[in-house]
Chains A and B, each alone.
Chain A
Amino acid sequence: MITARYMRRRRANSIAMALSIAAAAIGLMFLTLILATLVVRGVSGLSWRVFAEMTPPPGSDGGLLNAIVGSVIMTVIGLMVGTPIGVLAGTYMAEYGRYAKLTHVIRFLNDILLSAPSIIIGLFIYEIMVVRMGHFSGIAGAIALAIIVIPVVVRTTEDMLLLVPNSLREAAVALGAPRSIVIRTVAYRAARAGILTGILLAMARVSGETAPLLFTALNNQFWSLDLNAPMASLPAVIFQFALSPYDDWQQLAWTGALLITVAVLAGNILARSLANIGAQPK
């Protein structure tokens, strides 16, 4: 018996389900649109020049070499500073202080730091480093990035170490291994893939960050490896060039945008597949 009420319910169901399919389609559409624009506008500017020449003054040819190198340097230093702190802090939370009050407090604050506006981290580093040193510098930019790395690595390290079965630790302790050896040779080894995923995710996140670099590393039109001087970075150059009125600068901005997105998404996908491999039972 098909009543009017039943028809109404069926119709409401179809409408709602159609809307949810539409929502997914809209989400995918934006992703495709953004990526397609990047490829279309970015590829036309790709040439050996991009990787071999410095950022040009308006109206002449040039590339993005100093910006790429600056980004790589600051990202690497940021990771080198942030990763050990993040891994050790995550180790404390999962191993030594698993049931400590301090761990709960840190977990809560770390989650807030994880989503804190990155421009505020830029202001913080400006206050404590740039003002003290009296000038903008690459090292200040790298430290700002390190502060963004820390919460990402802390979070994944803690989560991954908590997944390591306690029986593994107990077996090692029964053999007479001291706590630190148990953690380093047993727990870390079991959680290796997960911790590496966290570091990769942090790298992907950091290499696209602009806001914290604006008033720490500033920008630099020229080739510079001096960590004590302002340093160029891809995001900062994109910001400057995209908002300029010059066509060739805008073209370079699109090419830089394509490079960054490819690097960041590749890092993201790599991290995800690594996490999947790590999650599978051996």
Chain B
Amino acid sequence: MIAETRENDIVYAHVRRAHARRFAFSDRSFSFGTRLSALVVLLVLGGIAVSLIVGSLPALRTFGLSFFTTQSWNPVTEKFGAIAPIYGTLVTSFIAILFAVPLGIGIAIFLTELCPEKLRRPVGTAIELLAGIPSIIYGIWGLFVFAPFMQTYVQPPVIKAFKGIPGLSSLFAGPPYGIGTLTAGIILAIMVLPFVSAISRDVFGTVPPVLKEAAYGIGCTRWEVVRRVVIPYTRVGIIGGVMLGLGRALGETMAVTFVIGNAHKVAVSFFAPGTTISATIANEFTEAVGDVYSSALIALGLILFIFTFAVLAFARYLLLVLQRKQGS
């Protein structure tokens, strides 16, 4: 009897050790798997940077610094300069931010200060759904609905109104094509709006109620509370949200491609067709023949990558600062 029990114990011990070994193996391989996957994120971003740099070398070698300072974009003579798409990218994004920031902050004020509790969620969700609509939908809507609207109802009166006023007349010079830099900028503004409003709303929610109550207590109006308490308190967060929106606007492709007009020209007028980095790549990359041509397009991609990386890194940094401030 006793001998048998001892034998059983030995068998059990073996089994247990085998179990433990198997667990140890699966434990280690699982942890290794997670580590590996985490590294994939690093590899992807690093790979993007390296492949863009390598791909753009032929163009940068051919044109040197003149790539960044010339305007001509001629596939036939293989002369490429990036000024027009860079200018278009910056101007359309600037217009987008110009419209989206006041609108987005207004929506955030409405949602946090004015909106009845019951409507808060539905209205907030509806605005955020704007961010869910695919960019190609904005493109097709912009081309068939919004551009004709601009062409008939907005551009002609504006052109007329500013005629003869020096400076403004050239900024808003015709003919009214409908498509163009301003139209693209406004479409971008609609796309960026949900990012600005969602982040503003979230940071507005972080204002300690005591601060607002104190301001109301000394007789401030709602607007004064927002302007003197809420916005100063959340300034960093709002700027972070704006930067995040700007990052989106800079790289947005399909919507812009439909309505920008694709002209490789730096035009003074906001109504003139132009191009952006992403629109140029989307339109021309599959048709680019010759190493220099496609390399020039990849170099444009590299410039866009550097722009957005800088803007997004700054945005994340600001939001991180805000988080730290709240944590402490």
- Tell me the smallest distance from the CB of A60 to a CB of chain B, in Å: 22
Q: Is the CB of B37 within 8 A of A85?
A: yes
A222 in the interface, Cβ–Cβ < 8 Å? no
Mark contacts of A245-256 with chain B using CB atoms, 8 A cut-off: 1 yes-contact digit, 0 otherwise.
000000001100
Instruction: Give the contacts of A96-114 with B (CB-CB under 8 A).
Output: 96-97, 102-103, 105-106, 108-113
Closest approach, in angstroms, between the C-beta of B263 and any C-beta of chain A?
A: 16
Q: How far is the CA of A23 from the CA of B140 in the complex (A)?
A: 24
Could you say which residues of chain A place their CB within 8 Å of the CB of B224? 9, 13
A189 at the interface (CB under 8 A from B): no
Q: Does A92 contact B (CB under 8 A)?
A: yes
Verify A92–B312 contact, CB threshold 8 A. no
Total A residues in contact with B, Cβ cutoff 8 Å: 91
A20 to B201, CA, bound (A): 13
Output the nearest chain A residue to B142 by Cβ-Cβ distance: A34
Tell me the number of A-to-B contacts counted with CB atoms below 8 Å: 266
Pairwise interchain contact B223-A210, C-beta atoms closer than 8 A: no
Residues of B within 8 Å of A, CB-based: how many?
88
Report Cα–Cα, A127/B298, bound state, in Å. Answer: 10
Select from chain B the residue with minimum beta-carbon distance to A108.
B316
Nearest B-chain residue to A35, judged by Cβ: B133
- Interface flags for B253-297 (1: CB within 8 Å of A; 0: not) read 110011000000000000000000010011001100000000000
Contacts known (A17-B114, A97-B38, A108-B316); A31 close to B23, Cβ less than 8 A = no
Give me 8 other A-B pairs in contact (C-beta within 8 A), A123-B51, A124-B51 excluded. A23-B109, A24-B107, A116-B308, A207-B134, A210-B254, A214-B282, A218-B286, A242-B139
Question: Which B residues lie at the A interface, using CB under 8 A?
Answer: 23-24, 26-27, 30-31, 33-38, 40-42, 44-45, 47-48, 51-52, 54-55, 102-107, 109-111, 113-115, 123, 125-127, 129-130, 132-141, 143-145, 190, 193-194, 197, 221-224, 226-227, 244, 247-248, 250-254, 257-258, 278, 281-282, 285-286, 298, 301, 304-305, 308-309, 312-313, 316
